[in-house]
Each structure stands twice: as structure tokens, then as C-alpha cells.
A = this chain, B = another copy of it.
Amino acid sequence: MAKELKELTPREENYSQWYNDLVIKAGLAESSAVRGCMVIKPYGYAIWEKMQRALDDMFKATGHQNAYFPLFIPKSFFSKEAHHVEGFAKECAVVTHYRLKNDPEGKGVIVDPDAELEEELIVRPTSETIIWNTYKNWIQSYRDLPILCNQWANVVRWEMRTRLFLRTAEFLWQEGHTAHETREEALAEARKMIGVYANFAEKWMSLPVIIGHKSDSERFAGAEDTLTIEAMMQDGKALQSGTSHFLGQNFAKAFDVQFTNREGRLEYVWATSWGVSTRLMGALIMAHSDNNGLVLPPKLAPIQVVMIPIYKGEEELHRITERLDRIATELRARGLSVKIDDRDNVRTGFKFAEYELKGVPVRLAMGPRDVANGTIELVRRDTLHKEVVAQDGLVDRVVGLMDEIQQNIYDKALKFRDGMITRVDSYDEFKRVLDEKGGFILAHWDGTPETEARIKEETKATIRCIPVNAPEEAGVDMLSGKPSSRRVIFARAY
């Protein structure tokens, strides 16, 4: 039974299937009856809630407030910003009617043809348009600025090929939308928020990321600059994990949002927007997990410590759980989330496998001999290292392990990621590295969309970003031979 539970397709054999098995078997999410839409199951949602809480605290600490804007956007709003409409108003869910009625032929309910909307409504794929239409009424003078709003919401993009968490028709996210007096202030906000995301990825998700600018063709539709954090998955593919956009005055112009500046002149408002989504769940799963299941950083683990009594009969169980209860109480008093699993209808081996699958950072098991000896068995999920330790000092040890595991998972991911960065100077080498090793490839690029497009077409690799800290370095483009002043990062990506 333990075997069956854990039966994940091995990572080496089929990474994509391994991922899917893991999401399903660990109880994180599943497909629903609605094409492309997922059900986020309680265990998956508990991780997402922890992400939300941490991010929300960081947003508030940087002066942002939450608000809520409508799910629907009038179709005409999308036409107001030329690039935005190209990027977002195509594959989307369109509401055309507002009533059903009983089928006169008795076949359930049908759409009432008399209840057609005058203007179709689009289920929001992102909310710049409806929000800037709202901000118009909130902003008259520089005294009304900045506006620093965030919303937690669901959005819909009608994706044709979907994968749980990574690409779904409906997903959950947060979108920050800020309004500023000056270009400089908006640029600083966009930089600040990509920094918040990077900090969250590294400190909470144990996920090293590279911060950089998107190329023109990969930029958010309607932005003047898009900052991104790019992470490396274990199969050598990149995953864009969060973006922060400097929108210039594009949406202010599209929705005619002007303010009286400090000099008494009318000016268009400067904007940013930034978001992360349930896609982060995919990044978290793919970056750390193994063939035994999830590996969760302790800060995001719904259960941080699981305790399992190993016993025969009621009397032994009673004696062991009495001890476990006492330890659990102490651990909880130190802020840890602890579960005691004393189910009697499954074997110990099954339980061990289950909590490995679910990525619980620390497992403690106690048998009758441990009671006699004052010991307990401790297993770390990240290393699977097992040891028998004294019950004395256990609580301090486990509390300390949380930081240790958090750091170890990060270090391991960082080491892997750094090993997956390759500097390349010719197109042949580029293609060879891409096929044989994958990962991030640092190469020179002439800055033209033509070269970028040709590389993408021929290799499926895209420019993930132009790192913000890329050093100046004279070179020539691999393909065109034209001059380049710094290397950019290419990769195949999710």
C-alpha cells in the first residue's frame, strides 16, 4: 500500500508526468469538470494561504492597501490601450447573456435569447483597464497621489494547453496597481515590488531568482518596462515567477486620468502594476521535490512536524501518545504546526510514505523502546537523514531545524541553479547546451526583435531577462555578429 501511494513516475523518466503525479497524489490540486479550470484541494490551498499571508504582510509593510474591483470588464475598455488589447482581449471568457430559461422542449435550461447584453463583458484577464477607469474619479491633484492598491482575485485567460498551477484558464493571483506623480516614483515602485517578490521567493520559497528586464517582445502588453524574477526548475527549464511593470502614462492616457501637479499644471498620472499567481505553487513544487514527493520549505509547510506513534495495543498507544502530546504542546508553544497521526487503520510505513509525499519537513516517530530509553526517531524530509535523538533538548533541536532546513533547501536550489548557468559564445554551442544540458544560457544579443524571434523559432529558447546586475561586457551577437554591450539570459521556459 505504501508503494502504491508513492508511485510517482520517476523524475528522470518523465519530468512532466512526475510533476502531474505529484500534484495529484500529494492532494494539491486536480482538474475540474470545466476545461482548463482546476480545483485547489485543501492541502494545496493551505500552502497558497501561507504564501498569501506572507506576501500580503510584505505589501502592507511597503504601504499598500487592498481593495476589490469588478470581475467583469466592458469589452470596449480593452480597445482603449492599443497594445493591451492585442495581448489580453483575445483568448478570454465572454459573457453575452444574463438569463437562462426553461427549455420549452423540456430539455433542462437554455440561454434566454431575450437576455442579451448590450455590450459584452469580459471576465478579467488582468484589471488595468477597469482600475484605471476607476482611478479617474479618485485623482484630481497631486495630493491624491500616490495610490497604492492591491487586489487578491481570480482571473481568466482562455489557455488552450493547460497544466495544473502552471497554466490554467482560471487562476488566483494578486495584482498591485499604483498611481504616481512622477516617472521616477513609478519606476522606483516597480523596482521595489520586484524586490519584494525576489525576497519572498528566496526567503519563503527557498527559491533563488534572477531579477531582470524583459525584452520588448516579452514585455507586458501596455508596459514600458517589465521586470521579472526568473527561477530554474530541476529539468533545466526556466519559470517566470513574478513580474512588475512600469506602465508609463499609457493607461492614464487611455482612460484620461490627469492630475494637477505641484506646479498647478495638468499632467497624466504615472503607473505600475505587478503580480504573482498560483503559478508560484508550480515553481515551489518543481524546484525542490524528489521521487518521494514534495519537499516543502518549513515556512510554507502547512504541517511542519508530524509525530507518529509506533505501538501494539491500546496501552502502548496511550503511553506513547502521552509523551507525544507533551512534546507537541511545547512545539506549538514555539509557533510550530504539529500533527500527531495515531490512525489505527493504516500501517506505519504507509504513514511515513504519506508525509514524505506531502513534504512535511520533520517526522518524529516513537516506539515503546523510545519511551523506555527517552529517545525518539527524527527524520528530515530534505535530506531523508534519519537519527535517534534524546527527548531532552528535542524541542530546541526541532525549532532550530526549521531554519536549517529552510536554508538547506535554498542552498541546494542555488547550487543547482548556479550549475545550470552557462556562458556561450556561438550559436552552435548555444543549441548544443540547450539540448544537452538546458538551464540559463548567458549569451550576447544584438537587441533586435528579429534575432530574438529567429532564436525562439529555431530553438524554442526565449530571452528570460536582461539581468539588472549584468556587467557591461563588449561582445557580438551569436547570430548576427552585431555588437552587444552585455549578456542576456536565454532558456527554454514554462
**What is A's interface to B at a CB cutoff of 8 Å?**
30, 32-34, 37-42, 45-46, 49, 65-79, 85, 89-101, 108-109, 111, 120-123, 130, 133-134, 137, 143, 149, 153-154, 156, 158, 170, 172, 345
Contacts and interface: CB of A to CB of B under 8 A. Distances in A.
A42 B94 contact: no
Contacts of A45: 65-68
A39 B38 CA distance: 27
Nearest to A107: B79
Contacts of A96: 94-97, 111
A66 B39 contact: no
Contact of A99 (B85, B92, B153): B92
A134 B32 contact: yes
Given A91-B99, A99-B90, A46 B66 contact: yes
B93 A72 contact: yes
A71 B40 contact: no
Nearest to A149: B42
- Say how many copies of this protein the assembly contains: 2
B97 A91 contact: no
Contacts of A71: 37, 123, 154, 156, 170
Contacts of A33: 70, 74, 77, 130, 133-134
Contacts of A122: 100
A72 B99 CA distance: 15
Between A94, A97, A108, A154, the greatest number of chain B beta carbons within 10 A of the residue's beta carbon is seen for A94
Nearest to A100: B89
Nearest to A77: B33
B108 A76 contact: yes
Contact of A92 (B34, B94, B100): B100
B70 A170 contact: yes
A34 B111 contact: no
Between A33, A74, A85, A345, the greatest number of chain B beta carbons within 10 A of the residue's beta carbon is seen for A33
A94 B95 contact: yes
A34 B133 CA distance: 11
A4 B32 CA distance: 53
A81 to B, nearest CB: 12
Given A32-B130, A45-B67, A96-B111, 8 more contacts: A39-B68, A40-B67, A68-B172, A71-B123, A75-B109, A90-B100, A93-B121, A143-B345
A109 B89 contact: yes
A46 B90 CA distance: 34
Contacts of A120: 111
Nearest to A134: B39
A101 B68 CA distance: 28
Nearest to A88: B100
Contacts of A42: 65-67, 149
B94 A100 contact: yes
A350 to B, nearest CB: 13
Contacts of A70: 32-34, 37-39, 170
A119 B66 CA distance: 35
A78 B34 contact: no
A38 to B, nearest CB: 7
A124 B95 CA distance: 13
Nearest to A38: B70
A111 B94 CA distance: 8
Contacts of A75: 100, 108-109, 111
Nearest to A343: B143
B69 A158 contact: no
Contacts of A158: 98-99
Contacts of A149: 42
22 contacts: A30-B134, A32-B70, A33-B70, A33-B133, A34-B72, A40-B67, A41-B67, A42-B67, A45-B66, A49-B66, A71-B154, A71-B156, A75-B111, A78-B108, A90-B101, A92-B99, A93-B95, A93-B121, A94-B96, A95-B123, A96-B96, A153-B154
